[in-house]
A and B are shown apart, each in its own frame.
Chain A
């Protein structure tokens, strides 16, 4: 569905699209009650309770006052409805605030101050510095003569660095006055939620002479909720408004995750339900039989000789109501309450505050804390998760000469410094690529120092290193880039930027030396994305060796290359590139294909090696968690060697004699198949030996394995406790999570960057590290923590306690309900199976609420073992992992306990009054207090 937007045309597009009215509200005043009730009643438990409550309205069968069910039911509904209403009201308030914010908009050629909600698609919106962007705009003018403006996108993607946005070529150089009168058409796709993509076209209408179609990308847009920074003013055309903005489309409630414990509770509830039905059928039938044989003789009961058709149902239904308390109505409320408390404990925990940024941990998803204790597989990202993601340029290899090998720091290598002063062309070229081929924005601070704002940590490291080696990136203005080298200023005009994508694994720029007018292509990228494209004559062996050597040391490598481009070649290619850039369908793929045509016959200059240090406490954390029976998989986009090196240094895998690393590789199906078979065979043999066997697989082989040998690979996944998957794409990460989940393993995915988001969302538990790669992962995750080492505490302390407490609380809830229900059942045997309730409504309600539901909440601060003990003996977690505290057999134990206690309480309470004056009220009170004492004793005994 395409959109054609007529710029600044008040008539045509007036009503075609929605106004810029934000509405995050789920309800309106009118539909709140029905909609909310409908939502609540779509849950099975609620339906069940409603049915029971309705049956209780029939006074012939109800054993107790209907209020005893209606009361709690209405209370529960009221609580959740109030919560929803409150949330919705707050959303309404914040919407209102945003909607009534005043912005400058051109209407009928005049700039007017109107409310944000009155912005229409096609309007021109003017923004000043530090203004919030009210809707998605296509930039058409800025205060900057180069047509650049800076935006902060933190609210959108969590990244705090400034991003440059550019006005489209067609609007370049338009003056202030003209911008009021501009007319044109923007062609763009319908609203979507991809905040990294916008594939549109702009065609200005006469009198604007530039009649060409001008491509628009995400670079030309400023999106809703961003802030305009470092730019005096900017203006743009509204393209998406209201709830149709990119931000509006990304919003949405994620699927609720169900924990293993929840699933188990549901299962047990189902079992109890079946039990209840059986009891009802048995007692109901027996009751009917008794009625026909015995009760008819009991003249004082005065059974009529003739009865209506439904008479047969009456006794079973009475028993159904009598037994309905078996499924405690309070369980859901109590569990929700304690779960939110667990989450709060995580938020509050002082020991999980990142000391550097003072950021506390946060549980976004409050419902799944117990699952933390049942994790079996942890899938972790490497960069930024295990490592600090603080890149430091350490070594390099230029033209076959290694620098920095002795000192460990190339910046201090005398050889390199000498080469620079002597002006070795290769070295100079190398440094130029380091300084030019990137998307870093230099910004001058007030003190005059240059600050680099980069989206990629590697690029920042390279630019910093280049600056220290006297090649300083000083200024970047739209297309002109200034470099200071040894006192002289070099200017380059950036003709094109061939952007980095995770598929291409390289980026290039086409620059024109302003001095000489030579055009050249500068590239940097992963070795396998650069070296195969080296020109025919070049020997790449030394570079391969260099890459090998560096990754052995756990360093990240990048290959730098360049080549000269003829003017004609560039012109010809430029046309294709332009065309590809303005396609609306498959643009990314088309661009990649066009880029390929330029990126060949490269002269490889050298290899850079960047160090990424391990975070504190990573090896210990992995070791502890592994002792707790958790298996680790490392999924990284990095090279195999680097990954293995990091894996070794953080205890992920053991070195040779103790451990064994098997590798699955191959480029074709057959090779992968054979390799897979071999690894599987070795795995099967070594499972009995106390040896750490791990396998390593790369993205390519993984693709084939997942596609064609899924079964074998699944078996491998089950056998292996450790795996390293390198060079995997975000979707492969997610696929691996799926694979493990399909084997019924509980998975936890931890990562820090945008490429981990999918895996984090897929996994049973997603943990995000609120690290340097922005907050994307942390936002998508269920838990966000500051450092990898907090994972230990999160799982062993919070997860374990939560599991124990929930296991106790849920089973206890059933226990106390069953206890009172069994007494009712026993009593029915001595009351002629007529379904008399021993307890009156008030006692039942008081028992369920005041005596049992509220006091037991204390168990949320119960600790069975001290935190220290658990941390020292992580093996304790086995118990939780295997679900030993909440499973059918423990539940059977609780069931038996309630049966036993019910028998004791019942026998005692009917016998202490033997014959004398066994009045119902008295017996019921004795039995009730018996139950209360028993359950209090159980709570005291079970909580430590």
Chain B
């Protein structure tokens, strides 16, 4: 027919362009979970995880850690009933001496931490009360909007560094000595390099700090914030209510059975909220500090995988089932139950 030719030609253009995408024919890899695949995946995962777990557990075991909780012991006996008053009283002598022995040899660097418990650095009111802008540069001194309720003094002068976090800076100090010889505590390079270089300005000096409502440690107003490493460490808020913060490093090795004497200036008030304070000395390994959790988790998961693999193998051997048996489909099962199954 002459007519059909022209219509076919005219409407050819209505045909959409062919592509694998438009026809939904893109090549695809389809993983079918055959028993073989499943079992081998589980075995492989198990075989990888268990050794990793063992290695990290071993690494964690090599770390030597000394923890000494001193908040209760450092209160004189007379004040045990009224700790809060003791800590708030400016007249009382807050020094106390703690001793402990090194269980194993500790290779330098030995990290000194203070550990606080039941201290909510992650409380919303607390965590938000800081001004990153102000910390960064001198020209943002007046940037104290976020710092409420510790943004300015009663005279409306901006506090630098402002905010609750800086205000509540930890102020216990430790002096270490072994066999009567003072151990040098290195307090440099305990904060992150990026914090020192970028987040805390070298031209920002403390001002009006700890004037009215005295909270924690006061700062030397002639040292720029980028050098105040205790503050920088403290300002990195902890995620948990129990946390450790780096105090300094001891760059000498300690031998086993060495007796360490620590003179603690017990200034910080954790007694109000029944928090604890501890001093921690710890070495490190490649895995970091002492932490068994990772190793245990790896071993557990690897174990479960291996267990499942074995179970599946047994199932497969005892009661095999052909792959893709249509008689298991619901509509086949209902109408024609296959005999023997």
A interface residues (Cβ-Cβ under 8 A, vs B):
63, 294-295, 297-304, 318, 344-345, 347-350, 353, 357-360, 801, 827, 830-832, 834-836, 838, 861, 863, 873, 875, 878, 908, 910-924, 944
Residues in A whose Cβ lies below 8 Å from that of B176: none
What does the 1/0 interface line of B236-250 toward A look like (CB < 8 Å)?
A: 111111111110000
A299 and B273 contact, CB distance less than 8 A? yes
A917 and B124 contact, CB distance less than 8 A? no
Return the chain A residue nearest B242 by Cβ: A915
Return the chain A residue nearest B21 by Cβ: A861
Residues in A whose Cβ lies below 8 Å from that of B15: 353, 358, 360
Given the complex of chains A and B, what is the CA–CA distance between A63 and B128 in angstroms? 9
Give the residues from 48 to 98 in chain B that come closer than 8 angstroms, CB to CB, to chain A: none
Knowing A302-B150, A861-B26, A916-B291 touch, does A318 contact B124 (C-beta < 8 A)?
yes
Residues in A whose Cβ lies below 8 Å from that of B115: 915
Name, among A360, A911, A923, the residue most crowded by chain B CB atoms within 10 Å (CB to CB). Answer: A911
Residues in B whose Cβ lies below 8 Å from that of A831: 120, 122-124, 127, 241
Tell me the minimal C-beta distance from A154 to chain B in angstroms: 15
Residues in B whose Cβ lies below 8 Å from that of A861: 21, 24, 26
Return the chain B residue nearest A866 by Cβ: B30
B interface residues (Cβ-Cβ under 8 A, vs A):
7-8, 11-12, 14-16, 18, 21-24, 26, 28, 30-31, 113, 115, 119-120, 122-127, 149-150, 164, 167-168, 213, 215-216, 236-246, 269, 272-274, 288-289, 291, 293-294, 297, 326, 329-331
Given the complex of chains A and B, what is the CA–CA distance between A827 and B30 in angstroms? 38
Residue A832 contacts which of B122, B215, B244, B294 (CB distance < 8 angstroms)? B122
Given the complex of chains A and B, what is the CA–CA distance between A547 and B259 in angstroms? 118
Given the complex of chains A and B, what is the CA–CA distance between A493 and B43 in angstroms? 94
A875 and B331 contact, CB distance less than 8 A? yes
Knowing A297-B272, A835-B124 touch, does A875 contact B8 (C-beta < 8 A)?
no
Given the complex of chains A and B, what is the CA–CA distance between A923 and B132 in angstroms? 20
Residue B7 contacts which of A353, A357, A863 (CB distance < 8 angstroms)? A357
B123 and A295 contact, CB distance less than 8 A? yes
A863 and B28 contact, CB distance less than 8 A? yes
Given A295-B120, A944-B30, list of 8 further CB < 8 A pairs?
Answer: A298-B119, A358-B8, A359-B14, A360-B15, A827-B239, A832-B122, A834-B120, A878-B330
Knowing A304-B149, A348-B23 touch, does A832 contact B123 (C-beta < 8 A)?
yes
Residue B244 contacts which of A302, A836, A910, A916 (CB distance < 8 angstroms)? A916
Knowing A344-B22, A912-B294, A923-B239 touch, does A301 contact B331 (C-beta < 8 A)?
no
Return the chain B residue nearest A926 by Cβ: B239
Name, among A836, A911, A916, the residue most crowded by chain B CB atoms within 10 Å (CB to CB). Answer: A916
Name, among A303, A908, A911, A917, the residue most crowded by chain B CB atoms within 10 Å (CB to CB). Answer: A917
Residues in A whose Cβ lies below 8 Å from that of B274: 297
Residues in A whose Cβ lies below 8 Å from that of B123: 295, 298, 301, 831-832, 834, 836
Given the complex of chains A and B, what is the CA–CA distance between A360 and B15 in angstroms? 6
A301 and B244 contact, CB distance less than 8 A? no
Residues in A whose Cβ lies below 8 Å from that of B113: 916
A301 and B125 contact, CB distance less than 8 A? yes
Knowing A348-B23, A861-B26 touch, does A836 contact B127 (C-beta < 8 A)?
yes
Given the complex of chains A and B, what is the CA–CA distance between A920 and B126 in angstroms? 13
A297 and B273 contact, CB distance less than 8 A? yes
Residues in B whose Cβ lies below 8 Å from that of A350: 16, 18, 23
Return the chain A residue nearest B145 by Cβ: A59
Return the chain A residue nearest B18 by Cβ: A350
Name, among B12, B123, B239, B288, the residue most crowded by chain A CB atoms within 10 Å (CB to CB). Answer: B239
Knowing A910-B239, A912-B294 touch, does A294 contact B273 (C-beta < 8 A)?
yes
A832 and B120 contact, CB distance less than 8 A? yes
Given the complex of chains A and B, what is the CA–CA distance between A302 and B22 in angstroms? 63
Given the complex of chains A and B, what is the CA–CA distance between A20 and B73 in angstroms? 97
Knowing A298-B120, A832-B120, A878-B331 touch, does A919 contact B291 (C-beta < 8 A)?
no
Residues in A whose Cβ lies below 8 Å from that of B294: 912
Return the chain A residue nearest B149 by Cβ: A302
Residue A920 contacts which of B119, B125, B239, B326 (CB distance < 8 angstroms)? B239
Residues in A whose Cβ lies below 8 Å from that of B26: 861
B243 and A915 contact, CB distance less than 8 A? yes
Tell me the minimal C-beta distance from B267 to chain A in angstroms: 14
Given the complex of chains A and B, what is the CA–CA distance between A922 and B237 in angstroms? 10
Residues in B whose Cβ lies below 8 Å from that of A923: 239-240
Given the complex of chains A and B, what is the CA–CA distance between A875 and B243 in angstroms? 59
Knowing A301-B125, A350-B23 touch, does A917 contact B16 (C-beta < 8 A)?
no
Given the complex of chains A and B, what is the CA–CA distance between A832 and B288 in angstroms? 28
Return the chain B residue nearest A287 by Cβ: B124
User: Can you give 8 contacting A-B residue pairs, CB < 8 Å?
Assistant: A299-B168, A300-B126, A348-B23, A801-B24, A831-B120, A875-B330, A916-B288, A918-B240
Knowing A294-B273, A912-B293 touch, does A919 contact B236 (C-beta < 8 A)?
yes
Knowing A832-B120, A920-B127 touch, does A875 contact B329 (C-beta < 8 A)?
yes
Return the chain A residue nearest B117 by Cβ: A915
Knowing A915-B115, A918-B238, A920-B239 touch, does A836 contact B272 (C-beta < 8 A)?
no
A921 and B236 contact, CB distance less than 8 A? yes
Tell me the minimal C-beta distance from B39 to chain A in angstroms: 17
Tell me the minimal C-beta distance from B143 to chain A in angstroms: 14
A358 and B167 contact, CB distance less than 8 A? no
Knowing A358-B8, A836-B123 touch, does A348 contact B331 (C-beta < 8 A)?
no
A345 and B125 contact, CB distance less than 8 A? no
Given the complex of chains A and B, what is the CA–CA distance between A918 and B213 in angstroms? 29
Tell me the minimal C-beta distance from B243 to chain A in angstroms: 6
Given the complex of chains A and B, what is the CA–CA distance between A287 and B11 in angstroms? 69
Name, among B115, B126, B150, B245, the residue most crowded by chain A CB atoms within 10 Å (CB to CB). Answer: B126
Residues in B whose Cβ lies below 8 Å from that of A63: 124
Residue A919 contacts which of B31, B164, B239 (CB distance < 8 angstroms)? B239
Given the complex of chains A and B, what is the CA–CA distance between A301 and B297 in angstroms? 36
B293 and A911 contact, CB distance less than 8 A? yes
Return the chain A residue nearest B88 by Cβ: A299
Tell me the minimal C-beta distance from B78 to chain A in angstroms: 23
Residues in A whose Cβ lies below 8 Å from that of B289: 915-916
Tell me the minimal C-beta distance from B233 to chain A in angstroms: 9
Residues in B whose Cβ lies below 8 Å from that of A318: 124
Return the chain A residue nearest B126 by Cβ: A301
Given the complex of chains A and B, what is the CA–CA distance between A664 and B329 in angstroms? 38
Given the complex of chains A and B, what is the CA–CA distance between A921 and B121 in angstroms? 13
Knowing A299-B272, A878-B331 touch, does A918 contact B164 (C-beta < 8 A)?
no
Tell me the minimal C-beta distance from A799 to chain B in angstroms: 13
Tell me the minimal C-beta distance from A187 to chain B in angstroms: 44
B24 and A863 contact, CB distance less than 8 A? yes
Knowing A911-B293, A912-B291, A912-B293 touch, does A917 contact B273 (C-beta < 8 A)?
no
Given the complex of chains A and B, what is the CA–CA distance between A917 and B195 in angstroms? 15
Residues in A whose Cβ lies below 8 Å from that of B330: 875, 878
Return the chain B residue nearest A867 by Cβ: B24
Tell me the minimal C-beta distance from B276 to chain A in angstroms: 12
Residues in A whose Cβ lies below 8 Å from that of B149: 302, 304
Tell me the minimal C-beta distance from A761 to chain B in angstroms: 25
Residues in A whose Cβ lies below 8 Å from that of B125: 295, 301-303, 834
Residues in A whose Cβ lies below 8 Å from that of B124: 63, 318, 831-832, 834-836
Residues in A whose Cβ lies below 8 Å from that of B239: 827, 830, 838, 910, 913, 918-920, 922-924
Return the chain B residue nearest A860 by Cβ: B24
Residues in A whose Cβ lies below 8 Å from that of B120: 295, 298, 301, 831-832, 834
Tell me the minimal C-beta distance from A507 to chain B in angstroms: 30
Given the complex of chains A and B, what is the CA–CA distance between A938 and B154 in angstroms? 55
A360 and B16 contact, CB distance less than 8 A? yes
Knowing A300-B215, A301-B125, A834-B125 touch, does A358 contact B11 (C-beta < 8 A)?
yes
Tell me the minimal C-beta distance from A620 to chain B in angstroms: 19
Given the complex of chains A and B, what is the CA–CA distance between A77 and B164 in angstroms? 39
Tell me the minimal C-beta distance from A907 to chain B in angstroms: 9
